[in-house]
Amino acid sequence: MLSLNSLRIACSSRALLQSNRMMTNRQSVFKAVTYSAHCLSTSFLKKDTWLSNTNLRALGKGGEIINYTNQVNSPRNYCATQVKLNCWNCKQSLDKTPAFFCLSCKVVQPPEEGTSYFKIMDCDYTFTLDLQKLQKRYLQLQRSLHPDNFSQKSVKEQEYSEHQSALVNKAYTTLLKPLSRGLYMLELEGMRIEEGTDSGADSQFLMELMEINEALDGAQTPEEANKIGQNTKEKLADLTVQIDAALRKGELQTAKALLAQMKYFANIDEKVKEKLSEFM
């Protein structure tokens, strides 16, 4: 028969063993849940890069629930952030993005860094813009933001109005023409067409451009120059359709090559205008 001390030792050992097993199991659960949360956040990153943040939970070592946020950046800077901004004057929250004026105290706000021209001009992110809507938005913003309206305001408001007005001008001129609009869209996607490089153009295309330029230089009448100008406009219209289709499909390399061609024909179009002015 076991003595009382032996029984106490056996019970203590059994309790300690049980405690160790529980701790081991708890740590295993913590590792499993944490790993699952990591995999979940990784899958979000791969599957949907438009998520601004992902709320995840894990089991702590003490058994408590840990909440944390995994931030996921958007691949495009032209998307609005979810960060709430406050008015620099009255500190009230600014509901709109971008916010040109505070709805509470009515003062002009500084430009928001990283806001895309499409969002500034309240346009859909597309190559085929509604130009009437673009122009209407431009006139509306310039009427309210022009520095002349703030000549009697504080120095800070005058400064902000100048910055906002200049930014609206830049956004408008960039989105107005298909070439600058398309180049800007590629820039937002992290792609650029380097100036003065012909590496992407084939010899046949460059020969065609040379012949058009020679014909334009040798044009003796407005009719001859107009004919070249009309053909150039048709080329530009056709390229516009092709670029729009490529961008809609996400074929950025194709769009880049087509925009490079558009640059050449847009240059010829300007030369035609110069040539016609010589006949006046």
Domains of the chain: 10-71 (no CATH), 86-176 (1.10.287.110), 203-278 (1.20.1280.20)
Residue 237 scores a pLDDT above 80: yes
pTM of the full structure:
0.68
CB contact set of 215 (below 8 Å; sequence gap of 6+): 224, 228
Residue 71 CA: distances (Å) to CA of 43, 95, 221: 13, 22, 64
Residue 58 scores a pLDDT above 70: no
Q: Is the dihedral of CA 198, 201, 206, 209 positive or negative?
A: negative
Residue 3 CA: distances (Å) to CA of 10, 11, 12, 190: 11, 12, 14, 80
Average confidence (pLDDT) over 157-181: 97
3-state secondary structure of 107: coil
Model confidence at 109, pLDDT cuts 50, 70, 90, reads very high
Q: Are 111 and 164 in contact (CB under 8 A)?
A: yes
Residue 156 scores a pLDDT above 70: yes
Q: Are 161 and 167 in contact (CB under 8 A)?
A: no
